[in-house]
Structure formats: C-alpha cells, structure tokens
C-alpha cells in the first residue's frame, strides 16, 4: 500500500487524545475511595502487614479472577518467583515463556533458579503461539513418565507461562491441551490482564496459578504490588507461608520452619487496591471505549493497523498498540520521535528477552514472529481518562 505518512498516523492518534499539552502513556487515576481507606489505615495504625484491607483485597481479587484464593505480595516479580517455588520449580528446571514480554516474567523464573526457555508469539494475540509451541516441543522434547525432558539440554521442562500481552488473551484452550500433552504446569502471567475475559472467563484463573501486578502503570494500582491467584488451597497456603517469612501461625511465638521471604503486601497498599478494584469495571469500560475510538480513527490510515482484541476475547486494552506494515517497520523510531515531539508519549514494545545480555544464552525456539512484532509495534496513550477528556498534566 502506498501513501504511508507519519503525519497521518500522528494526526489520527492526536484527534483521539485531544488538544492537550502532554499525554502520558498510562496514568493512574484515583477518583474512588482511596483517600478514605488510606485515612482509615493511618487513623487506626494498621499500616503494615496486618489489617482488614489485606484480607479484603485478597478476597476480592479471587472473585475478580474467578479463583478461590489470592495471596498478595509487594510486586508482580516476587509473585512470579513465589509461584515458581510453590510449583516446585527450581535450579536445573526449564520454564517455557514468550520472548516477547516484560523482563519481570523472565526474572521471576530466574529468581527461582530456573532457566527461561523462550518460545514464539502469534500476530493475532501478541501472546505465546500454542501451535508453534507444540511443534517445538515435538522436535526438542520427550515425555518420560510424567516428566517432559529437553533432549538438547537434558533438563526437565516443568512449566509453561503464557503472558496475556497488553491485556489480550493467549489462546488458552489450545495452550492447555499442549501443556497436558507434554505434562507441563501452566502458570499464567496475568499482570497486564486483570479484567480481561476469554470466552467469558476471567484471565489468571485458567491454569494452576496466575500472577498479577499492581504497579503504578497497571489497570489497577497499589503503588507497587502483586498477587498469586489459584483454585488450589494447598498452593495458596504454601504461597502465604513462603511470602510471610515462613512464620508458623501462633498467637505470640516467633517461630519459622524454613528460609522464607518478606514478600507481603502492606495494608496501606491493599487499602488503595480495594478502592481501585471497586473501579475496575469502569476502567475496563472506558479503556474499551478509547480503543474503539482509536480503531475508528486509524481505520482509513494507510500502512498501519490498530491492534484489536482476538476472537473470543473481551480485552481490558491495558496498553493500546498499533502495528506498522512490514514495509514501513524501519520508520518506527521516526514515528515515535514525531509523537514525542507533539507531547504524545508512546514507546516501542520491550526488547525481546533473548536479545538481553543475561538471557542471550537461554534455550529458545524459532522466534521470527516475536522479532517481526518487535520491529512493527508501537504503544500509544491508554489512560482511561482519555475516553472522557479528563487527563490534565
């Protein structure tokens, strides 16, 4: 297609974001009961690891993800580390995950001593490709009893961690089928997808465990925070124990039965989380409205496509994304610079994990689609307030 022009793309996006001096990529919004709940923590002195909001936030997160249990933590990275430990994954084990993800996914695996093994993504979901995963495993792995072994490294492959990129669901039914065939545990990285549905079911509760993040830029924020969600009570108890210094429950004795972690979320953060979670439905509704506006504004613009939710998905559109046609991929940085000059914050997708120095030697599959997406994708402003003209900075 001819007629691609950077100005046309920037103009279409700026018609949606409106006449503002500066538009952030994703700004938090505190228009609910955050102040009220925070004041209650301070007035009562319950600011730290005990208090009503921690338990309430855990209960409500379980409801939001359609799971039975949630354990909140200080961030999403340690939630991933904890999920690995609770799943019995450690040194000498491999965990499959997409190379196209935020570095926290791979770090959480590495912190447990396990080895990330990178697999490819698909252009229709931006997430892990179940069909390509099956092909890769068929050629490099064998199942012995209940263990999937990497024939090239000799190591067991214990789990697969799909990541729902920008809130868009991975094709979970197909992935669960491949995981069962190769005896892999499924741990969902749902850090970006709170509030998204796949065939009407919330993400995070579709595997054995899911992890969430409440970092400042996520759809629901606690400043910093994370959670492990699961239907399995044994896993939830173990996660709670490990993240609370492995302290044995007792009215006054301080007694610990293993080397635990201080990964608990403080009550102040959980208070903000409770107030934010009350707004989740509203955030998702407005972000979906914003996505509709971008889709319409970019529909007639040559050389670029707005990334829309895959079939069967109701996405939270955490971060909106546009894909340049392959022919214009080398214009990406010039496009980003033009946006920035106009005060519109945007960015390329993360550098793929296998290109980072600490993961360059990690085992991996063919990653050609990941590399193609990385060349073509640009994230554009996604604050919910952009849907109703309320962003002011």
- 57 scored as a contact of ligand PLP (CB under 6 A): no
Q: Which of residues 166-225 bind ligand PLP (CB under 6 A)?
A: 189, 191-192, 213, 215
> Could you give the maximum distance between any two Cα atoms of the chain, in Å?
73
- 258 half-sphere exposure, CB direction, 13 A CA radius: 9
Binding pattern for the stretch 140-169 against ligand PLP, x by CB under 6 A and - elsewhere: -----------------------x------
Q: How far apart are CA 87 and CA 17, in angstroms?
A: 44
What's the min distance (Å) between Cβ of 149 and ligand PLP? 27
Q: How far apart are CA 57 and CA 80, in angstroms?
A: 19
Candidates 217, 213, 133, 171; CA nearest to 309 is 171
- 102 scored as a contact of ligand PLP (CB under 6 A): yes
DSSP one-letter string for 12-48: HHHHHH-S-S-B-SS-----SSHHHHHHHHHHHT--S
Nearer to ligand PLP, 150 or 208 (CB): 208
Task: Write phi, then psi, for 247 (nearest 5 degrees).
Answer: -80, 130
What's the min distance (Å) between Cβ of 78 and ligand PLP? 7
Q: How far apart are CA 391 and CA 393, in angstroms?
A: 7
What's the min distance (Å) between Cβ of 303 and ligand PLP? 28
Nearer to ligand PLP, 227 or 236 (CB): 227
Q: Which of residues 222-261 bind ligand PLP (CB under 6 A)?
A: 226
Q: How far apart are CA 248 and CA 253, in angstroms?
A: 8
What's the min distance (Å) between Cβ of 161 and ligand PLP? 9
- How many residues appear in the chain? 393
Nearer to ligand PLP, 6 or 86 (CB): 86
- 269 scored as a contact of ligand PLP (CB under 6 A): no
Q: How far apart are CA 135 and CA 199, in angstroms?
A: 25
- 105 scored as a contact of ligand PLP (CB under 6 A): yes
- 75 scored as a contact of ligand PLP (CB under 6 A): yes
Nearer to ligand PLP, 17 or 82 (CB): 82
What residue ranges bind ligand PLP (CB under 6 A)? Answer: 75-77, 101-102, 104-105, 163, 189, 191-192, 213, 215, 226
């Amino acid at each position: 297609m001819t007629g691609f022009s950077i100005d046309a793309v920037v103009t279409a996006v700026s018609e949606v974001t409106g006449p503002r001096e500066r538009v952030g990529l994703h700004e938090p919004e505190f228009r609910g009961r955050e102040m009220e709940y925070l004041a209650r923590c301070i007035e009562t002195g319950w600011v730290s690891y005990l208090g009503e909001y921690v338990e309430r936030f855990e209960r409500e997160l379980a409801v939001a993800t359609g799971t039975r249990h949630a354990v909140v933590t200080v961030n999403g990275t340690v939630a991933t580390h904890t999920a690995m430990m609770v799943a019995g994954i450690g040194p000498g084990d491999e965990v499959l995950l997409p190379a196209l993800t935020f570095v926290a996914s791979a770090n959480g695996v590495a912190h447990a001593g396990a080895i990330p093994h990178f697999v490819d993504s698909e252009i229709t979901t931006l997430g892990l490709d179940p069909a390509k995963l099956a092909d890769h495993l068929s050629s490099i792995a064998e199942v012995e009893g209940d263990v999937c072994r990497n024939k090239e490294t000799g190591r067991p492959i214990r789990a697969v961690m799909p990541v729902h990129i920008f809130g868009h669901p991975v094709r979970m039914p197909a992935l669960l089928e491949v995981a069962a065939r190769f005896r892999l545990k499924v741990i969902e990285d749902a850090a970006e997808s709170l509030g998204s549905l796949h065939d009407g079911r919330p993400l995070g509760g579709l595997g054995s465990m899911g992890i969430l993040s409440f970092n400042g830029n996520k759809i629901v924020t606690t400043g910093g925070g994370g959670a492990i969600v699961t239907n399995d009570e044994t896993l939830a108890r173990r996660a709670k124990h490990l993240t609370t210094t492995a302290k044995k429950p007792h009215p006054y004795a301080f007694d610990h039965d293993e080397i635990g972690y201080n990964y608990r979320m403080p009550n102040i953060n959980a208070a903000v989380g409770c107030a934010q979670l009350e707004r989740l439905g509203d955030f998702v509704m407005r972000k979906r409205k914003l996505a509709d506006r971008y889709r319409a504004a970019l529909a007639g613009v040559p050389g670029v496509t707005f990334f829309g939710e895959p079939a069967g998905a109701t996405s939270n559109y955490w971060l909106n994304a546009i894909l340049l046609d392959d022919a214009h991929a080398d214009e990406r940085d010039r496009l980003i610079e033009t946006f920035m000059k106009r005060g519109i914050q945007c960015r390329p997708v993360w550098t793929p994990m296998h290109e980072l120095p600490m993961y360059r030697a990690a085992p991996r599959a063919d990653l050609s689609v990941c590399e193609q997406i990385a060349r073509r994708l640009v994230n554009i402003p996604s604050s919910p307030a952009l849907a109703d003209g309320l962003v002011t900075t």
